[in-house]
Amino acid sequence: MLGADPNVEQSQVSQDIERVIATSEQIAARVKELAKQVGEDYAGRDLLLVGVLKGAVMVMADLARAMNRHVEMDWMAVSSYGSGTKSSGVVRILKDLDRDITNREVLIVEDIVDTGLTLHWLKSNLESRGAKDVQILTMLRKPTAAKVEVDVKYVGFDIPTDFVVGYGLDFNERYRNLDFIGVLAKHVYA
């Protein structure tokens, strides 16, 4: 035996998904719409996309490629302190931007807004560095996001509060590579 049977691995992954929230086709169509909207809103303006690692990698790659204009891309990695799976809003920067953003028009690209605490902190942090404008695009938004005052300009899909994975979103660093978004089955983490 040379290694694990890839077919067994594959079927195990699909058993871990309770239901599909968005197929790869639905995601592709929605990202194209978002790119068109962003392209129109930022016509003739500067645009710096700031992706939040690692979850936003997929949406950033697809969004940027769907835009027929110049965009710059930079990345931040942040870690949100909290108890268990709850975000506290206290954020530590693990990887900062490479470039100065003074006077830049920034669009933060995020995978999901849950409580909104992380994005609330990130938006004020980037504003305090002298950015001309800071807006937010998120692929997914949960209803819990309404609890925190965070102004999200572009939303891919509004979803229920279930824990979802795929298209950049992980559970213990797995499932990010799924080309669809699905609800993780309880047996995986219960």
Question: With binding defined as CB under 6 A, does residue 112 bind ligand IMP?
Answer: yes
Question: Of 156, 161, 155, 157, which is closest to residue 142 (Cα–Cα)?
Answer: 161
Question: With binding defined as CB under 6 A, does residue 111 bind ligand IMP?
Answer: yes
- Interacting stretch for ligand IMP, rule CB under 6 A, among 4-12, 14-22, 69-77, 109-117? 109-117
Looking at 24, 80, 125, 135, which residue binds ligand IMP (CB under 6 A)?
80
* DSSP codes, the chain: --S--HHHHHHHHHHTEEEEEE-HHHHHHHHHHHHHHHHHHTTTS--EEEEEETTTHHHHHHHHHT--S--EEEEEEEEEE-STT---SEEEEEE--SS--TT-EEEEEEEEESSSHHHHHHHHHHHTTT-SEEEEEEEEE-GGGGGS----SEEEEE--SS-EEBTTB-BTTBSTT-SSEEEEPHHHH-
Question: With binding defined as CB under 6 A, does residue 137 bind ligand IMP?
Answer: no
Phi-psi region of 103 (alpha: psi -120 to 50; beta: other; left: phi over 0): left
Q: How far is the CB of 23 from ligand IMP (least distance, A)?
A: 17
Question: With binding defined as CB under 6 A, does residue 125 bind ligand IMP?
Answer: no
Residue 5 appears among annotated catalytic residues = no
State which residue, 102 or 172, has the beta carbon closest to ligand IMP.
172
Question: With binding defined as CB under 6 A, does residue 113 bind ligand IMP?
Answer: yes
Catalytic residue among 16, 46, 100, 114: 114
State which residue, 91 or 101, has the beta carbon closest to ligand IMP.
91
State which residue, 60 or 118, has the beta carbon closest to ligand IMP.
118
State which residue, 66 or 183, has the beta carbon closest to ligand IMP.
183
Catalytic residues: 114
Residues that bind ligand IMP (CB under 6 A): 55, 80, 87, 111-118, 163-165, 169
